[in-house]
């Protein structure tokens, strides 16, 4: 490793060019131009010579991995708002600083939530499949009739930053907003929404359910068979948060037995090896974790991670310090 007065940072994945340019200007950067997912052993070997790691949600920073990080590594700046891939107590115990990128991807995620809400409600996948496979015989009065958003109830599980951005858009679509979480949120007057402390009461009010909770051991499989059963007949479920918030078995059963109207999913348990039973379900619109995938947002996430690194190496507290 070349000696340098600049801190050495490993970027575990290929990042947008403006982000890599800024990283390479301010630091001695170790980049991953082929965007290869580094096996943990290799990551730990490279980490021998680095001061900080700019990681992503595909790097599983479990307690043993964190314990095995060379002492030289002082900061882990994740290129994500979610940090379920990093064991925060283990990082704290090791004295490792951890940061994330809250705020940078709120609008992009709220927008993709609406892509899925609309796509699931209006049967976009079935329509596109019909067209591209040459099965479309022409317009028909009863063809692929879906559901509307206007006048319906949008239930938001987890009214944080992204949940509120979705609620705001829901109001613009003429939806009534209901939400559930650990506690009622102090919302601005222009964001009228009904809080339900009780999950059963909440779910009974969801014509559409959009999940925006953090993934923690407590929220794992939150949408289980019991909760699917509490949704009104024909309800539409959208998940842009984390796959493990949903119990796949329960959602697949609800979609195939006719209780649920449709689903729109951007995230899956075990990505990229998702439950293959989703694949043939016509009333499920499936995306490969694209929630934050706009040029603008992926650059903003990278810059936010760099702001955190910059603060740390300038001897200041990073703005988004988790540990």
**Which residues are known to be catalytic?**
242, 271, 289
Q: Which one among 61, 69, 81, 274 touches ligand 8YV, defined by CB under 6 A?
A: 81
Q: Distance (Å, rounded) from C-alpha 38 to C-alpha 32?
A: 9
Q: In the structure encoding, which two tokens stand for residue 177, read together?
A: 């907003």
Say whether residue 82 binds ligand 8YV (CB under 6 A): yes
Say whether residue 12 binds ligand 8YV (CB under 6 A): no
How many residues belong to the site for ligand 8YV (CB under 6 A)? 11
Residues in the chain: 323
Q: Distance (Å, rounded) from C-alpha 201 to C-alpha 204?
A: 5
**Minimum gap (Å) between residue 290 Cβ and ligand 8YV:** 7
**Minimum gap (Å) between residue 270 Cβ and ligand 8YV:** 15
Interface stretch with ligand 8YV, choices 75-83, 89-97, 139-147, 167-175 (CB under 6 A) = 75-83
* Per-residue contact string for residues 262-301; x = within reach of ligand 8YV by CB under 6 A: -----x-----------------------xx---------
Q: Which is nearer to ligand 8YV, 65 or 290 (CB)?
A: 290
Q: Which one among 241, 255, 306, 309 touches ligand 8YV, defined by CB under 6 A?
A: 241
Q: Which is nearer to ligand 8YV, 8 or 167 (CB)?
A: 167
Q: Which one among 8, 10, 43, 57 touches ligand 8YV, defined by CB under 6 A?
A: 57
Q: How far is CA 121 from CA 13, 158, 207, 262, in A?
A: 35, 21, 11, 7
Say whether residue 113 binds ligand 8YV (CB under 6 A): no
Interface stretch with ligand 8YV, choices 76-84, 121-129, 130-138, 219-227 (CB under 6 A) = 76-84
Say whether residue 77 binds ligand 8YV (CB under 6 A): no
Q: Distance (Å, rounded) from C-alpha 320 to C-alpha 323?
A: 9
Q: Which one among 240, 302, 309, 312 touches ligand 8YV, defined by CB under 6 A?
A: 240
Q: Which is nearer to ligand 8YV, 80 or 283 (CB)?
A: 80
**Minimum gap (Å) between residue 120 Cβ and ligand 8YV:** 16
How many other C-beta atoms lie within 10 A of the C-beta of residue 156?
Answer: 27
Q: Which is nearer to ligand 8YV, 264 or 291 (CB)?
A: 291
Residues 88-107, interacting with ligand 8YV (CB under 6 A) = 105
Say whether residue 219 binds ligand 8YV (CB under 6 A): no
**Minimum gap (Å) between residue 23 Cβ and ligand 8YV:** 18
Q: Distance (Å, rounded) from C-alpha 154 to C-alpha 259?
A: 17
Q: Which is nearer to ligand 8YV, 124 or 165 (CB)?
A: 165
**Which residues, in sequence order, are CB contacts of 294 under 8 Å at separation 6+?**
108
Burial class (CB in 10 A: 0-12, 13-18, 19+), 302: buried
Cβ(285)–Cβ(264) below 8 Å: yes
DSSP class of residue 316 equals: S
Q: Distance (Å, rounded) from C-alpha 13 to C-alpha 34?
A: 8
Q: Which one among 12, 99, 109, 164 touches ligand 8YV, defined by CB under 6 A?
A: 109
Residue 14: left if φ>0, alpha if ψ -120 to 50, beta else—which one? Answer: beta
Q: In the structure encoding, which two tokens stand for residue 113, read together?
A: 């939530």
Q: Distance (Å, rounded) from C-alpha 64 to C-alpha 15?
A: 26
Cβ(112)–Cβ(212) below 8 Å: no
Reduce the DSSP state of residue 272 to 3 states and report it: coil
- Residues making contact with ligand 8YV (CB under 6 A): 57, 80-82, 105, 109, 240-241, 267, 291-292
């Amino acid at each position: 490793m070349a000696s340098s007065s600049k801190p050495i940072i490993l970027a575990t994945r290929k990042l947008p060019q403006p982000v890599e340019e800024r990283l390479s200007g301010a630091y001695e950067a170790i980049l991953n131009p082929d965007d290869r997912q580094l096996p943990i052993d290799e990551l730990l070997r490279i980490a021998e010579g680095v001061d900080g790691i700019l990681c992503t949600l595909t790097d599983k920073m479990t307690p043993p991995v964190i314990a095995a990080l060379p002492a030289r590594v002082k900061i882990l700046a994740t290129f994500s708002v979610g940090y379920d891939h990093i064991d925060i107590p283990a990082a704290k115990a090791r004295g490792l600083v951890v940061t994330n990128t809250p705020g940078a991807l709120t609008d992009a995620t709220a927008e993709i939530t609406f892509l899925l809400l609309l796509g699931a409600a209006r049967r976009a996948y079935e329509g596109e499949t019909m067209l591209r496979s040459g099965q479309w015989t022409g317009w028909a009065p009863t063809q692929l009739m879906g559901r509307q958003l206007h006048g319906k109830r949008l239930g938001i599980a987890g009214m944080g930053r992204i949940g509120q951005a979705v609620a705001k858009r829901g109001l613009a679509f003429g939806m009534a907003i209901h939400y559930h979480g650990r506690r009622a949120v102090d919302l601005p007057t222009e964001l009228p929404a009904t809080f339900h402390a009780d999950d059963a009461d909440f779910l009974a009010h969801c014509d559409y359910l959009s999940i925006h909770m953090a993934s923690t051991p407590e929220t794992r499989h939150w949408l289980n068979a019991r909760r699917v059963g509490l949704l009104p007949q024909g309800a539409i479920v959208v998940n842009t948060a984390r796959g493990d918030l949903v119990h796949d078995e329960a959602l697949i059963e609800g979609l195939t037995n006719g209780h649920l109207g449709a689903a729109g999913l951007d995230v899956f348990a075990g990505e990229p090896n998702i439950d293959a039973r989703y694949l043939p379900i016509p009333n499920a619109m499936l995306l490969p974790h694209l929630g934050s995938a706009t040029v603008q947002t992926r650059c903003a996430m990278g810059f936010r991670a760099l702001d955190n690194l910059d603060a740390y190496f300038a001897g200041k507290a990073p703005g988004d310090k988790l540990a």
